[in-house]
């Protein structure tokens, strides 16, 4: 039974990446999971991903680059404002300007750097470095 599909997807990607595998099958897939992997792809943590099934639940094949040191979800999903990003960067990232926090905002899901530039807060979803 899957209680948190995003946590399972990130955990699978991390464990396959640590084993040296080049691809992993992620199932089930939601819009949030697709967007998180798109952000990780834009920041060069993972490679491209292919849709194997667009049916309910969905399946994607994620190509791995070997660039992930650690990633995971943030529970509980803390609310973050413009002046509290630094506190959570210190808590979840190993060094300044190293890694990303993924934030769900009113403008969509984005990295914490994009949210700071836009001047908006949101809820923390995940981290990756």
Residue 97, domain CATH: 3.30.1490.10
Q: Within this chain, do residues 21 and 45 fall inside the same structural domain, yes or no?
A: yes
Q: Within this chain, do residues 87 and 114 fall inside the same structural domain, yes or no?
A: yes
Whether 98 is in a domain gets the answer yes
Instruction: Identify the band that residue 1 occupies on the pLDDT scale cut at 50, 70 and 90.
Output: low
**3-state DSSP helix/strand/coil percent for the chain, to nearest 5?**
35, 35, 35
**pTM strictly above 0.85:** yes
* pLDDT of residue 2 exceeding 80: no
The whole-number average pLDDT for the span 20-45 is 95
Sign of CA dihedral 91, 97, 98, 103: positive
Total of domains in the chain: 2
Domain that holds residue 50: 5-64
Distance CA 41, CA 63 (A): 10
Task: Specify the DSSP element, H or E, that contains 107.
Answer: none
pLDDT at 6: 96
Q: Within this chain, do residues 14 and 45 fall inside the same structural domain, yes or no?
A: yes
Mutual angle of helices 31-42 and 5-19, in 10-degree steps: 40
CA 123, chain centre distance (Å): 13
Whether 69 is in a domain gets the answer no
């Amino acid at each position: 039974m899957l209680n948190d599909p995003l946590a399972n997807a990130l955990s699978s990607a991390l464990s396959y990446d640590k084993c040296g595998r080049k691809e992993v099958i992620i199932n089930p897939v939601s819009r949030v999971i697709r967007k998180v992997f798109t952000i990780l792809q834009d920041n060069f943590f993972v490679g491209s991903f292919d849709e194997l099934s667009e049916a309910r639940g969905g399946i994607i094949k994620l190509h791995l680059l070997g660039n992930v040191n650690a990633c995971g979800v943030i529970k509980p999903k803390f609310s973050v404002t413009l002046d509290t990003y630094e506190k959570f960067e210190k808590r979840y990232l190993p060094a300044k300007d190293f890694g990303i926090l993924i934030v769900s905002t009113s403008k969509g899901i984005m990295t914490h750097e994009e949210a700071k530039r836009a001047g908006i807060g949101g809820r923390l979803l995940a981290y990756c470095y």
